[in-house]
Structure 1
Amino acid sequence: MGFVQSIVVLVLASFVLGCLADCNHNNVYNVVDNGAKGDGETYDTDAFLDTWNAACKDSTDPTMLIPSGFTFLLNQIIFKGPCNSNIHVQVDGNIVAPNKEWEKKAEHWITFSEINGLKIDGSGQVDGKGSAWWSCRGDKKCSKTPDAFFVLKCKDVQLSDLKFVNSPRKHLSLYDTVGAQVSRLTIKAPEDSPNTDGIHIQNSQNVKVFKSTIGTGDDCISIGTGTSNINISQILCGPGHGISIGSLGEDESEAKVERIHIFNCRLSNTTNGVRIKTWQGGSGYAKDISFINIFFDFVEKPIVINQYYCDDNDNCSNKTSSVQITDVYYNNVKGSSSQETAIILDCSKTNSCNGIVMENINIKSAKDGDGKTTKASCFNAEVIIKGDVKPRLPCSSDS
């Protein structure tokens, strides 16, 4: 090989190596480059949609960038797929809703729909500006308020690191979604804000939620019908209504919930701890549910099964049919209750709760120093006791 040929080979080799490092670099689509002002006063909805549409057409796994140092005002918006490749939405700036009630075409503010391989993360904040809606609900001028962040009919979703605050209603909802990992979120709303669930999961499968801090005016996490293979762990919950499966069976509907596993969670100053709630008149099942390594700190009702759930605004009549609750396992559940009755199992008159296992339970009174003790109540529940369980259940038998 001559000198010139050697030089050509070296140049080509250098080009190939450089291309391996840079030629496949994913494209970045910045909302500011598409006209977003980010001043918190100008609506940036159109600029966000233009950016999304361009990124969605890209086949190189692009990034839609919402940069730091800006506050982007959005009205109702839908990011719709399918897209030509996996898409990454990097939220480093702040996103805010209008600071007022606004006319809504659907029950959601920000929607991601029919997208595969969606990844959303960043250091930013999503602020639903919910106080106007809460006042509207309190004054009974509006019956329904919008959820803030809605993931619909997606597959293989990753959502992490963001902060969600002050949603008009639910902060984050996963619906008709298969495969999702939700982690390291911070979700906050005032304790008296109505129906501001942190995370709601419904008609979805294979979902993991972990390492998140949630304090709202409703359930930290709620699980609706059509859910299976849901794993929830390392959640700091409070204030709020605890972690709930349900409510299920509303309006005589059929529930299908199974393989729900909640473990390594801490709940502080909540009205409920871990709860299963169903309406009278429903049908279907909730089964294969476990609560393991749960710690309560000053929780009003740490363990609850309530098959007579009724919204305060409804006049609920007695009905015979019910959702069947079976195979619920509690293990290493400890802490303190702010009320005397720490465990409430109130099962259907028609269908008893079967296969309820309690192992190593120790829930003391938060006023233990005053000589207070806790107690348990149960109706039509079959409970198997393993290990040391306090307070003792009157409907239990040792294994």
Structure 2
Amino acid sequence: MNMGFQFVRFSRLSRIKSINSKMGHFNFFAVQYFDITRVRIMAPGDSPNTDGIKIGSSNHMKIHHVDIGTGDDCIAILSGTTNLDIYNVKCGPGHGISVGSLGKFKGEKSVQGLTVRDSIFNGTSNGVRIKTWASSGSANLVSNFLYKNLQMINVENPINIDQRYCPNPPCSLKSFSQIQIKDVKFNNIWGTSTNKVAVKLQCSKNVPCKNVELFNVNLVHRGRDGPAISLCENVAGWTRGKISPPSCIR
């Protein structure tokens, strides 16, 4: 990685440019009350494993007014991270802002209290994503998330909960994630999806998602395969405001 911070408290990273890292650009582990602002991160869209900002076991962080273009997650949020506020971020190219993957190892901790707001995703493979392994080594909680005021510009998967994550098949069809996802709000998200499935809420059969809210979502797909659709599995919640594509939450 280009820079790493461990066990650091009450600090700020600002006005730094990170270019063409060989792996991740910035890594944060067990930091508290850390402010990241006015940072620019650049790597080619096809550069593998070049996460922009990776965070684990940390709390009370702010990431704002940053510009990230890379070949992996713009921001990756891992086990044990709580009370994270992300706003005014430009993400693209890259894999979006991701929570996870979670559940691969025993002893992982919950991720709670995330806000992602007032940001733009341009040409990314994902917008906002939560991913947990199909076969979990630990049973944990993902909760109290707010995604608000987000613009998607030609994003492949704008809204994506994936509890069947398995990047290295074959995977057992009889294994289900043990990670509970609940209290997640998607509020005022709009733009264009390059995938027909613009809203994917694919939750675990063992621990279905609870209290998932869609409020004023407007995502358009202009491909030859027809207008955008939603896909839901094992998810409970509600819908408010104007929703396009039509909600599949029941």
Same fold (TM over 0.5): yes
Q: Which digits, 9 at most, give the CA deviation of each residue in 1:340-388, with x for residues without a partner?
A: 1101111001000000011000001145xx7941000010001300111
Secondary structure (helix, strand or coil) at the match of 1:162 reads strand
Match of 2:234 among 368, 371, 380: 380
Q: How does 1:1-399 map to 2 (within 5 A)?
A: 147-279=1-133, 280-281=135-136, 282-312=138-168, 315-317=170-172, 318-367=174-223, 372-396=226-250
**Counterpart-to-counterpart distance in 1, 2:5 and 2:170:** 32
**Counterpart-to-counterpart distance in 2, 1:389 and 1:326:** 20
What is the root-mean-square deviation of aligned Cα atoms in Å?
A: 1.5
Secondary structure (helix, strand or coil) at the match of 1:201 reads strand
1:290·1:329 contact (CA, 8 Å) conserved in 2?
Answer: yes
Secondary structure (helix, strand or coil) at the match of 2:164 reads coil
Judging changes above 3 Å, is the alpha-carbon distance between structure 1 residues 371 and 323 closer, same or farther for their aligned structure 2 residues? closer
1:362·1:390 contact (CA, 8 Å) conserved in 2?
Answer: yes
**Counterpart-to-counterpart distance in 2, 1:372 and 1:321:** 32
Q: CA deviation at 1:167?
A: 1.2
Q: CA deviation at 1:316?
A: 3.5
Q: CA deviation at 1:253?
A: 4.4
1:255·1:286 contact (CA, 8 Å) conserved in 2?
Answer: no
Q: Which has the higher helix share?
A: 1
- RCO comparison, higher one (Cα < 8 Å, 6+): 2
Q: Structure 1 stretch 247-256 or stretch 381-390: which is displaced more?
A: 247-256
**Counterpart-to-counterpart distance in 1, 2:176 and 2:159:** 24
Q: Specify every segment of 5 or more residues in structure 1 that has no aligned partner in the other structure, as ranges.
A: 1-146
Partner amino acid for 1:300? E
Q: CA deviation at 1:394?
A: 2.2
**Counterpart-to-counterpart distance in 1, 2:31 and 2:222:** 40
Judging changes above 3 Å, is the alpha-carbon distance between structure 1 residues 366 and 264 closer, same or farther for their aligned structure 2 residues? farther
**Counterpart-to-counterpart distance in 1, 2:139 and 2:225:** 43
**Counterpart-to-counterpart distance in 1, 2:85 and 2:248:** 31
1:171·1:187 contact (CA, 8 Å) conserved in 2?
Answer: yes
Partner amino acid for 2:163? Q
Number of matched residues? 247
Q: Percent identity?
A: 36
Partner amino acid for 1:251? F
Q: CA deviation at 1:255?
A: 3.2
> Under a length normalisation based on structure 2, what TM-score does the superposition of the two structures give?
0.95
**Counterpart-to-counterpart distance in 1, 2:166 and 2:106:** 13
> Under a length normalisation based on structure 1, what TM-score does the superposition of the two structures give?
0.60
Partner amino acid for 1:270? T
Q: Which digits, 9 at most, give the CA deviation of each residue in 1:295-319, with x for residues without a partner?
A: 000001100000111123x544343
Judging changes above 3 Å, is the alpha-carbon distance between structure 1 residues 320 and 300 closer, same or farther for their aligned structure 2 residues? closer
Q: CA deviation at 1:331?
A: 0.4
**Counterpart-to-counterpart distance in 1, 2:198 and 2:72:** 20
Q: Specify every segment of 5 or more residues in structure 2 that has no aligned partner in the other structure, as ranges.
A: none
**Which protein has the larger Cα radius of gyration, Structure 1 or Structure 2?**
1
Q: Which digits, 9 at most, give the CA deviation of each residue in 1:228-270, with x for residues without a partner?
A: 1100000000001001111111134433110000000100101
Q: CA deviation at 1:395?
A: 2.7
Q: Structure 1 stretch 162-171 or stretch 284-293: which is displaced more?
A: 162-171
Secondary structure (helix, strand or coil) at the match of 1:161 reads strand
